[in-house]
Structure 1
Amino acid sequence: MTAGVPGPDGAVDPAAMGPGVNGPLLVAFAGLPGVGKSTLAVRVGAALRAPILPIDPVERALGRYGLVGDVPGMAAYGAVAGLAEVQLGLGLSVVVDAVNPVASARGLWHDLAERAGVPLRMIEVHCGDEAEQRRRVEARLPAEPDPHLPTWEQTLLRRAEYEPIIGPRLVVDTAVGVDPFPGILAYLR
């Protein structure tokens, strides 16, 4: 494997990523549904050989047991932050896959990185082609309605409520014809 270049299985040898990867990282993805966060999070997790902790299945599980609180989703964010803290404590990097729509959700990752003594790398993902983002969102919807998978209309509502991210981050547009993965790896170094 060449430094920072994925092998045939898509993984990148962390030792081959070059200087700057001297310990665990907390990588937090942010962005609306359908922008490509999960696809990129999986690739980053494979490159770092790090666990990927997605918020969505935790939210679904909490909802099935009636454990959704007054602040939608924050319980899931708290649960994932707790799991991430355990992994970071074991010396592993962690990749969080979440919409992270509001400052309070994103604040969990800043606080966790500080407590764990690891760098936080925030990656905000956009899809500059609204028709493509809509196609992606609608392609995920099953024949039977699933209250946990957002429709396009719900995605537009989330976009209206999405608070701008303030602070250091890498912004990626998945509608651009260039693969953002090499730039993401460079940012993680």
Structure 2
Amino acid sequence: MLIIFGGLPGSGKTTIARALAERLNAVHVRVDTIEQGIRASGIADDAGPAGYIVAYGIAGDNLTLGRTVIADSVNPLRITRSAWLSVAQAAGVMAAEVEVICSDKAEHRNRVETRLTDVEGLVKPTWQETSERAYDEWHDAILIDTALKTVEAALDELMSRLKLLAMR
């Protein structure tokens, strides 16, 4: 299965994606890490679509090996989400889309402004950049709101919803 995460920076998507990958013993493919690697290589200051394209390839390779893959990125545009769905289709596996939000704006802003980076050299976006980011509406995604939940509660909710989806 390919589980496609998305959400604005600071929403909690990487925290939930990592916890899910650990629980499922799945491959965690994080676009931030790939994009920062591209920038650090000196090839380009702006990774552009390259980070996503590399991530699609890594995910596809792991899916064809029978691994569950957790795709972790902002996924702000329909085109990136459609590309992830194409990766799953090409591998012949089921896909689930998960949008992570933080509905409490004050909490979301606090997270954006106080979190530390765990990817060497990665500069996190400011609250203004986050709140002004182009972000297409999601359709048919599992919605997880992290505002008033612990990581474990959000993960349990997601696991239940994924099981229901798999039963269809």
TM-score under structure 2 length normalisation: 0.86
- Show the counterpart of 2:15: 39
TM-fit CA distance, 1:148? 3.0
CA separation in 2, counterparts of 1:136 and 1:155? 11
CA contact (8 A) 1:127 1:175 kept: yes
SS of 2:96's equivalent in the other structure is strand
Q: Work out which of the two has the higher radius of gyration on C-alpha atoms and give 1 or 2.
A: 1
Deviation string, structure 1 residues 20-63 (Cα, Å, up to 9, x no partner)? xxxxx100111000010011001110111001011101111112
| In 1: Cα distance, 2:147 partner to 2:61 partner | 35
TM-score, structure 1 normalization: 0.77
Q: Please state if 1:30 is matched with 2:3.
A: no
State the secondary structure of the residue aligned to 2:11: coil
| 1:133, distance to aligned residue in structure 2 (A) | 0.9
Offset from partner CA, 1:108-143 (integer Å, 9 cap, x none): 11101110111101100000111111111111257x
Change (3 A) 1:147 1:39: closer
Instruction: After TM superposition, list the pairs within 5 Å mapping 1:101-116 onto structure 2.
Output: 101-116=76-91
**Residue 186 of structure 1: how far off its partner (Å):** 1.5
Mapped partners of 2:74, 2:58: distance in 1? 17
**Match status 1:135 vs 2:110:** yes
- Pair 1:60–1:180, CA change in 2 (3 A): same
CA drift of 1:188 comes to 2.0
The one-letter code sitting in structure 2 at the alignment partner of 1:183 is E
Return structure 1 stretches of 4+ with deviation > 4 angstroms. Answer: none
Output aligned runs, 1:51-70, within 5 Å: 51-64=27-40, 65-67=42-44
Percent of residue pairs identical: 35
Q: Which has the higher helix share?
A: 2
Corresponding residue pairs, total: 157
Helix, strand or coil for the counterpart of 2:97? strand
Correspondence for 2:144: 172
In the other structure, the counterpart of 1:152 is 127
1:186 aligns with 2:163: no
Gaps of 5+ in 1: 1-24
